[in-house]
Structure 1
Amino acid sequence: MASDTAPSRRAPAGAAVLRDDVTEAIRAAVFAELAAVGYGRMSIEGIARRAGVGKAAVYRRWRSKLPLVLDVVSAVAALGVPAPSTGSLLTDIRVLLEVTARALRHPVASQIIPDLLAEASRSPEIAEALQTALRDTQRGIASGIIDSAIARGELPQDTDAELALDLIAGPLYWRLAVLRAPLSPRYLDRLSAATTAALAATAAM
């Protein structure tokens, strides 16, 4: 088993040097464990075994599985996704729907997200992390799409980006995470057109 300290001529006295490759292996193992056994049954032992490291390597970075999971979820959220910029509200929404659907259809995400949402009802810390990971990041993308549409004159200044996010993300989560129904390109085309029309209609109210 590889040591968790990297060779260094000036290693800090009395402190381990945390290797980046070990940290990334642990983070990847967290996703795999969440998908395989869920948060409730996930353990530091299982994460360490899957990452190919000792438990001490995990505990040197995180004191328990909760801060470990929160850190991994927050790190993924921080990566963000650039707002589509196609020059049209309809096509911007279509691109965003495609990207979001692809992410929700990923085998790991399709297992992890429902499990973490269930845990969020029991853990304020997990709920807060998911708020950042799943909603705040998407809110920024929706705001970018709406701001661009306003600048082009497709939507009025007072268009509600929060409502836009609900209209865009809600149907996808319902079909993929709740119903687990397939999504065809034609469905995404129709949903894009319906969402664009709904935004225009609600903005006029």
Structure 2
Amino acid sequence: MTSDVQTRRRGEALQQAIFEAVFEQLGKVGYGRLTMEGVAAAARTGKAALYRRWPDKNALIVDALRAAMPSTADVPSSGELRADILALLMRMRDALESSYGATFQVLKAEPGPGASLVHAAVRDRVFAPYRRLVADALRAGVERGEVRPEVTATEESTVLAANVGPAMLIHRHFLEGPDLPDDFVIAVVDGVVLPMLRPR
């Protein structure tokens, strides 16, 4: 039966099974004891199928984390600053509260490589596209008179402004628990981010 499954699953179906196995194994044995062999067995495939795509378990875990998190890259622009910033922060919240939140906690709890993998995945999948989109929103806001010109005067000032909202979400998520209700995200936007950006 196993060989039959191996021969029939290809492409995205096999990849999804492998990623599910990664999260299952992380929950069962943790980062330190996770092996490519264990993931292959849990996914009911051969080790060769894993090594053809990923050189080691770290590369596999990062890809699995990235696939699990919703990206901010496809959040459309509304043409209004508050709506754009709120939509981006809501999507970031969704990424932090992804269905594999328990797995993120397992990795973060293990010092060293495990936590580093989470940080790399969140940075590449969420923060990098968020910064690009929020920079565009801020520049458009300056043109509409919604944002003070000095906010986007330099690349450094733009990045600092873009980091405020995410920093508050991450602080709450990591230190106070994974629950980030809509009311909290809205309060961050209306009570902190927008007052910081608007013309005085």
TM-score by length of 2: 0.73
CA shift in 2, pair 1:56/1:183, >3 Å: closer
CA distance in 1 between partners of 2:181 and 2:57 (Å): 38
TM-aligned CA deviation for residue 3 of structure 1: 6.3
Q: Give deviations 1:27-62, integer Å, cap 9, x for gaps.
A: 332244345544323211221122121223222332
The change in CA–CA distance for 1:145 and 1:182 in structure 2 (over 3 A counts) is same
Residues of 2 paired with 1:99 and 1:39: CA distance? 27
Q: Secondary structure of the equivalent of 1:62?
A: coil
Residue matched to 1:14: none
Alignment of 1:159-178 (within 5 A): 159=151, 160-178=157-175
Deviation at 1:169, TM superposition (A): 0.3
Pairing partner for 2:80 from 63, 88, 109? 88
Q: Shift of the alpha carbon at 1:172?
A: 0.8
Q: 2:194 is matched with which residue?
A: 196
Instruction: Tell which deviates more after alignment, 72-81 or 45-54.
Output: 72-81
Structure index of larger Rg: 1
Calculate percent identity across the aligned residue pairs. Answer: 26
User: Aligned equivalents of 1:199 and 1:37: distance in 2?
Assistant: 46
> 1:115-154 to 2 correspondence within 5 Å?
115=107, 121-122=112-113, 126=117, 131-154=123-146
Q: Which ranges in structure 2 are unaligned for 5 or more consecutive residues?
A: 152-156
CA distance, structure 2, for counterparts of residue 48 and residue 58 of structure 1: 7
Contact 1:83 1:144 in 2 (8 A): no
Q: How many Å separate the matches in 2 of 1:147 and 1:38?
A: 44
**Amino acid paired to 2:186:** D
Pairing of 1:69-88 with structure 2 (within 5 A): 69-73=61-65, 80-88=72-80
Task: Decide whether the 8 Å contact of 2:77 with 2:84 is kept in 1.
Answer: yes
Task: Using the TM superposition, give the Cα deviation of residue 156 of structure 1 relative to its aligned residue in structure 2, in angstroms.
Answer: 3.6
TM-score of the superposed pair, with normalisation by structure 1: 0.71
- CA-based RMSD of the aligned residues comes to 3.4
Structure 1, unmatched stretches of 5+, are: 7-17
Q: Which residue number in structure 2 is paired with residue 11 of structure 1?
A: none
Count of residues in correspondence between the two structures? 190
Q: CA deviation at 1:170?
A: 0.9
Deviations 1:149-177 (A, max 9, x none): 22322114442331123211011111122
Return closer, same or farther for 1:104/1:77 CA change in 2, 3 Å cut-off.
closer
- Tell me, yes or no, if the aligned pair for 1:104 and 1:110 is still in contact at 8 Å: no
How far, CA to CA, are the matches of 1:110 and 1:158 in structure 2? 41
Normalized per residue, the structure richer in helix is: 2
In the alignment, structure 1 residue 49 sits paired with structure 2 residue 41: yes
